[in-house]
Structure 1
Amino acid sequence: MGEVKLISEFYVRPQAEVNKSNQKYYLVPSELNLLLLSYLKCGYLYKKPQDFNTVLYFEKLKLSLSMALVHFYPLGGQLVTETYEHDHSSRIFVDFSKGRGVKVIHAIAPDLRLDDIISPNNDIPMVVRSFFSFNDQLINYDGHIQPLALFQVTELKDGVFLGISINHCLVDGTSAVHFLSTWSKFFMSSSSLPPSISHVPIIRPSFLNNIQTNNKLPYIKPSEFVIRTTPNNGIRERIFHFSNNTIAMLKCKANSQASHYQHKISSLQAISAFIWRSISRARNLHSNNLTSCTMITDLRPRFTPPLSRHCFGCFLNEAAVTVNITDLLSNNLGWAASLLHEKVIRLDDKVARHVFCKSPELEISCNASSGPNPVIVVGSPRLDLYGCEYGLGRPLGVIIGADNDDGEITISSSSKLDGSMDVQVSLASYAMNALLLDQEFMSFTSYIKSTL
């Protein structure tokens, strides 16, 4: 399906010098844990205007990006390792003086149309992976030699795809959206000078400046710990839509079935439990098998007092549950949702601070770290993914660059902005086939919206 051709590339650095850019930005344990995982990837699909001017568009893209990087300057740096022979250890930090900046790529796929990418009732096509720089070959450790942020603009016959790849050690979804929305605001401004922004990113909360003892890795050479997993090409990806009425129904059902948590189980927990049970049925596992569900949770609101959502960095932790398949499927939705709820509410200030102080434990892949027959829930409907316009109007659709992990699901708000959600599901082919035939699952959801 359609060939993607690279046309040009350039690098962008902050428009103005940043006073703090001469300081070392050390990665803390929670960020070091992600060194072997892939970059965070998100793609926006837009309708291409008939008067689209490529030269003018990239000039404005470059100018607005340079403005945004003044505030989000870590993205323009490069990873550097300090080694300590005396105790065979190392520290990794962002050096803002090294590297060429953020990489922007211009590509074309003149034979591809919007309908080829977001056609209802079809899997996300494999060609979408080529809309992201380096696709799934780039791991966060590669930030030593590759840019920490890469953006690929691919022109389709009737659309534009903006593929975003950012080093996951530096950002989580909250920070990424904060950056992208700021960049969008600068792009939409008619001024050649950066407009003021209402929420300046907090590059490092004060308590993280004091974490120095536990941010060492017990290695001095990459060969001692850098492992690259082989992409699983047998994974299928598909986007399902949950209406606001369906979400309310599932939330009400989960709370009524878990009476001791009545009105406390969230919509996200109810949806996650519902999909966990559905995928477990689709996998047709033996009754004695175990299965796990891991919700990747933002720790900012877990601190006392809560950290600002504008704190820049990666503030994620796992809330994981492992149960027997028989128990999961013989009990009701409320039972599964209450297990997830219990894990989430235990993420308090003590746990949150411990996550940033304990010794790093490198994760090789989402599946390897999340237990047997896993379902990994990432994303949040609270993130405003559809507020990023870049002169092309609101996105028609958002596609997450998944890591080809069996059982990874990404939950986001939908383009309707009415409380409905889109859920991108990655599954082994046989399990996806079974999921599409699961009457209970399909009665609560639909394929990606044809209105796109």
Structure 2
Amino acid sequence: MSSHLHLQRKRSKLKRSITARMVEVVKSEFVVPSVETPRHSIWASNLDLAARRGYTPTVYFYRPNGDSNFFSVDILKSALAKALVRFYPLAGRLGLDREGRIEINCTGEGAVFVVARSEYTLEDLDDFAPSNEMRDLFVPPAPSADPPCPLLMLQVTFLKCGGVVLGTAMHHTVIDARSASHFIETWATVTRAGSADAVTPPFFDHSLLRARSPPAVLYDHPEYKPEPIPISSRLGAAYSSAILPLSKTHVDLLKLRCCASGDARVSTFRAIVALLWRCVVRARKLQPETPSRLYTMIDMRSRMSPPLPTNYIGNAVIRTSVVATADELAAKPLGYAAKKLRSATNQGDEFARSLIDYLESVDMMKLPRSGVSNADLRVISWLGMSMYDADFGWGEPAFMGPALMYYPGFVNILNSPKRDGSVSIVISLEPESMPSFKRLFMEELGGLDVQNEII
């Protein structure tokens, strides 16, 4: 059986299971901090308000290890209650201040904790590709993302094979990917070691990202402006998703190929995205003169002046982008796209401050949040984050990634579970574009022994 047909049949099985209700919720409850925590409100920065108003669903897959206490619900809940003492805002609710501005209300009402069981085995899910079905199966259903709503929802699903899926849904208004990773690492450490002493405490003062007075908008910020001609929303549009492994050897060869165009050094992110961008525009069969915009996010913690604390919990990321025509990306050497990406990834404090000041004067409800056009691509990097430190005492996850993709043209790049420099690329595209993209991607990888491209 071909791998493509095998994947199609597994996806069909997933879809059938929703109807068959093959995940049974055993219990749903709130877990509150183990001791009394402060009751107050936390101001939300403009970067928090500009983030997508919704939950970010992720899934962690664990193989059974024979321990009789494997993912003991009592142990997990006790550790969660202790972790929420440090992360007490996550036990609160999204709220509004007197002016109607979003804020975090630290109420101590607790995080949603769901226990479920399923007839699935890890073998049934071994491609781990995100989908609407994956999210519906293994992540708690999201209520309205508007105030008042929980900020943290968790689901532990016990599989027929003895494995476990941990699904998480954290409200993006109050937490970005690095913040979420910090919380999971804290919870796992408490479960495994009994305390969080080995993990840096979180930092919740968002006033470090307050707008200046008077504001000074020194840059254009097209990523935060409505489209001149609004595109139809792509949220919820049909997509095909895949997880593509990239070995360390492939990563190193990609970087060398980009450097052959004149750069002394090219980052892993730029080298990978250059290849993805080229293959996507080719697979979509765009007209040569069609502009393609590549959107990405930059973590500004270390780029601010002075730097934000590394343990800053909140949204400390900004959107940036770069544009090239389909013909430029398809016809020019790979290093061309890597060089274009540099301008989207080298922003510093003044650019971020300009953005924060710009957001002070706009209607946050009119910011573009509906997806990207069918010529564009949005790439999120989780490289360098401690996603695989989520060891609760029963071993590291076999895989961790997003539970679903929001629309076609969305990409996550993350470290692979091997911890050997290899990378996992999670991508969603229009169903009609995905087969061609995979073919082009594999052809490009197959030609990486050629190092003589010159711009």
- Bin the TM-score by the shorter chain: 0.7 to 0.9
SS in 1 for 2:185: helix
Q: Give, in angstroms, the shift of residue 208 of structure 1.
A: 3.8
Equivalent of 2:64, from 48, 55, 62? 48
| Corresponding letter in the other structure for 1:130 | D
- Whether the 8 Å CA contact 2:289–2:327 is kept in 1: the answer is yes
SS at match of 1:367: coil
- Are 1:153 and 2:156 matched, yes or no? yes
Matched, 1:108 2:108: no
1:132 is displaced (CA, Å) by 4.2
**Does the aligned pair in 2 maintain the 1:300–1:309 contact within 8 Å?**
yes
1:247 has 2:251 as partner: yes
Aligned residue runs from structure 1 range 26-425, under 5 A: 26-36=43-53, 38-53=54-69, 57-84=72-99, 90-97=100-107, 100-110=109-119, 112-119=120-127, 124=130, 127-133=133-139, 141-142=145-146, 144-158=147-161, 159-189=163-193, 191=194, 194-204=195-205, 207-208=208-209, 231-232=235-236, 234-257=238-261, 259=262, 261-263=263-265, 265-345=266-346, 347-357=347-357, 358-359=359-360, 361-362=364-365, 363-365=367-369, 367-368=371-372, 373-425=375-427
- How big is the alpha-carbon RMSD for the aligned residues of Structure 1 and Structure 2? 2.6
Give the Å deviation of 1:53: 4.8
2 CA distance for matches of 1:247 and 1:149?
Answer: 35
Q: Is the 8 A contact 1:108 1:155 kept in 2?
A: yes
Q: What is the TM-score of this pair, normalised by structure 2? A: 0.83
**Which residue identity does 2:152 align to in structure 1?**
A
Query: For the residues of structure 2 that align with 1:184 and 1:279, how far apart are their CA atoms?
Result: 37
Contact 1:292 1:372 in 2 (8 A): no
C-alpha distance 339-366 of structure 1, shift in aligned 2 (>3 A): farther
Q: Label 1:339 to 1:388 Cα distance change in 2 as closer, same or farther (>3 A).
A: same
* Alignment length (residue pairs): 407
* Counterpart for residue 217 of structure 1: none
CA distance 1:195–1:27, change in 2 (3 Å): closer
Equivalent-residue separation in structure 2 for 1:101 and 1:212 (angstroms): 37
Letter in 2 for 1:156: L
User: Which 5+ residue runs of structure 1 have no aligned equivalent?
Assistant: 85-89, 215-227, 446-452
AA aligned opposite 1:350:
E
- How far has the Cα of 1:125 moved from its partner? 6.0
Instruction: Give the partner amino acid of 2:55.
Output: Y
Residue aligned with 2:302, SS: helix
SS in 1 for 2:200: coil
Query: Aligned AA for 2:30?
Result: Y
1-side partners of 2:421 and 2:309: how far apart? 23
- The CA deviation at 1:304 is 1.7
Match of 2:8 in 1: none
- For 1:343 and 1:127, how far apart are their aligned partners in 2? 34
Cα distance in 1, alignment partners of residues 303 and 414 from structure 2: 21
SS in 2 for 1:429: coil
**Whole-angstrom distance in 2 between the partners of 1:402 and 1:126:** 6
DSSP-derived class of the 1:284 partner: coil
372-381 or 275-284, which moves further after superposition? 372-381
2:42 maps to which of 18, 21, 25 = 25
Partner of 1:437, secondary structure, is helix
Q: Do the aligned partners of 1:367 and 1:374 also contact (CA within 8 Å) in 2?
A: no
Specify which of 6, 11, 15 is matched with residue 34 of structure 2. Answer: 15
Q: Is the 8 A contact 1:68 1:183 kept in 2?
A: yes
Per-residue deviation, 1:49: 4.0
User: How far apart are the structure 2 equivalents of 1:168 and 1:77?
Assistant: 14
Aligned to 1:219: none
What is the identity, as a one-letter code, of the residue corresponding to 2:126?
Answer: I
Cα offsets for 1:357-411 (capped at 9, x unmatched): 332544453624xx66221111322012111022331111112123331111101
* Residues 213, 4 of structure 1: alpha-carbon distance in 2 compared, 3 angstrom cutoff: farther
CA apart distance, 1:66: 1.1
Structure 1 pair 134/291, CA: closer, same or farther in 2 (3 Å)?
Answer: farther
CA displacement at 1:123 relative to structure 2:
5.2
Give the deviation of 1:181 after TM superposition: 0.5
Contact conserved, 1:28 with 1:211, CA < 8 A, in 2?
A: no
Q: What's the CA shift for 1:105?
A: 0.6
Q: Unaligned stretches of 5+ in structure 2? A: 1-12, 216-231, 449-455
Question: For residues 188 and 444 of structure 1, what CA distance do their matches in structure 2 show?
Answer: 45
Q: Report Cα offsets for 1:235-293 as digits up to 9, x if no partner.
A: 11110111111101111111221x1x321x21111101110111111111122322111
Q: Secondary structure at the match of 1:304?
A: coil
> What SS does the corresponding residue of 1:94 show, helix, strand or coil?
strand
The change in CA–CA distance for 1:11 and 1:315 in structure 2 (over 3 A counts) is same
Distance in structure 1 (CA, Å) of the matches to 2:132 and 2:343 = 38
Moved more, 23-32 or 405-414: 23-32
For residues 305 and 149 of structure 1, the distance between their equivalents in structure 2, rounded to whole angstroms, comes to 30
**Is the 2:138–2:157 Cα contact (8 Å) retained in structure 1?**
no
For 1:268, the aligned partner's letter is F
Q: Compared with structure 1, are the counterparts of its residues 206 and 27 closer, same or farther at alpha carbon in structure 2 (3 Å cutoff)?
A: closer
TM-score by length of 1: 0.83
